[in-house]
Structure 1
């Protein structure tokens, strides 16, 4: 499918100036990721390095809080995708599932901790996630028969926490 120059320009703008990842810029402009990557590579070969322009724009005018918020947002998108993948996989046991969730929660806590000074409101979310992590460990160790039921309410409850603590 041929795309117009306006579509290419819009994708470049969203990637560089709106701070979207290449994947998100491609999705929002209705362009396949491979096409977006090809355009980015072709531009770099022609002397228009989108990554260098993005960094320069960020350094020149990007607010550090906005950058931190974008990084955290990108991580949360990956976090949710991983959660969906864990939920969709039926061939792992409850213990392994809790280990995966604990590892994911640890990565989340580390990401939040690194941005805590710039984004103080995220500390509430980090504490909430830590409480959920401790609860998951407790259930795994003391009430393993409740683990599957716990898992079924964890994701919707996480969405509620996220919404309430924003």
Structure 2
């Protein structure tokens, strides 16, 4: 699906407020409500909008620590990689996992309540991951930037066309 300026503007607004009523979204991007709804449905069907979620404040939930763990595996066979990836997917504390190029094979981001909780996670989860030959953990002091919205070139700013309605 090729995105035009209006599609990108819709996506920009939805990234900021996924629960915005369609009528308000249409007004913000300068479309009629029916045209806006058609475009949103098309973006969903194309998989560009993959799902709607609630973003939680991890600190208010007691998850005050971000820990980044570099993992090196014993080998690169499909069996080793698949076993590791399947185990990572099953761990609720592991928030992100990336296959890497460079010194480490994977980079994990996990959250913990405090150092004692990280020790528990290390013993119960990380130490049990299959195929691990080396682990290196780094603790984040504080987040500087944590974005969930993608910049969309050519989207303009919602509402900047004076609210003209088009189909």
Shorter chain as denominator, the TM-score bin is: under 0.3
Choose between structure 1 and 2: higher helix proportion: 1
Q: Which has the larger radius of gyration?
A: 2
* TM-score normalised by length of structure 1: 0.27
Which structure is higher in RCO with an 8 Å CA cutoff and minimum separation 6? Answer: 2
Choose between structure 1 and 2: higher strand proportion: 2
* TM-score normalised by length of structure 2: 0.27
